[in-house]
Amino acid sequence: MWNRKNSKTPSFLPSLLNDSNTFYGTDYNDKYIKWCRENLEGIHFKNNQLNPSLDFKDSSLDVIYGISIFTHLSENLHYSWMKELTRVLKNKGIIFLTTHGEVHKFKLLDSEQKKYDLGELVVHSYKKEGNRLFASYQSPLFFEKLCTENNLTVLKHVPGTFQNGKAQQDIWILQLTND
């Protein structure tokens, strides 16, 4: 799939699976999509907007993999994007997401920690929504409720830990159950 003459790097997931799988990548940041198109092979990249929707048919994807997406969204966009992800996911499909969980509570004021503990989303809107400095903190209570309201079953929740002095994000593996 990749040779040294080719300037592109083989993408991890496409290099593991056969050609019967199709991979897509989306982002609202044009610079990221441009870099990915120029540097990664085996993936079809699409631009999207900060607000939903995605350019995919209903129930068309088997797996959705999203790293540090919800961590930069308002509460309103949490609900909008989860609804959109479940729209494009096939029944029994899997979603892999990461969030700012318990290990990130040290970044919150005492009053914010109380809201977090009550299952409310805490948002630091220092920059424009979607920017890496716009940060959302999802307690397991908040995120489980968001999942339940969108017919998602939590298959696995791995709380983040500190690694090399840095707080890692929680991992959520979810399954759509439209039964």
Model confidence at 135: pLDDT above 80 = yes
Catalogue all structural domains in the chain, each as residue range(s) with its CATH number.
49-176 (3.40.50.150)
| H/E run at residue 41 | strand 40-41
Bridge partners of residue 25, in order along the sequence? 45
Q: What is the pLDDT of residues 44-97, one digit of tens each?
A: 999 999 999 999 999 999 999 999 999 999 999 999 999 999 999 999 999 999
pLDDT at 101: 97
In the three-class reduction of DSSP (H, G, I as helix; E, B as strand; rest coil), residue 117 is classed as: helix
Percent of the chain with pLDDT over 70: 91
Residue 106 CB-half CA count within 13 A: 8
Q: State the Cα–Cα distance between residues 144 and 157, nearest whole angstrom.
A: 10
Could you tell me the pTM of the whole model? 0.89
- What's at 97, amino acid-wise? L
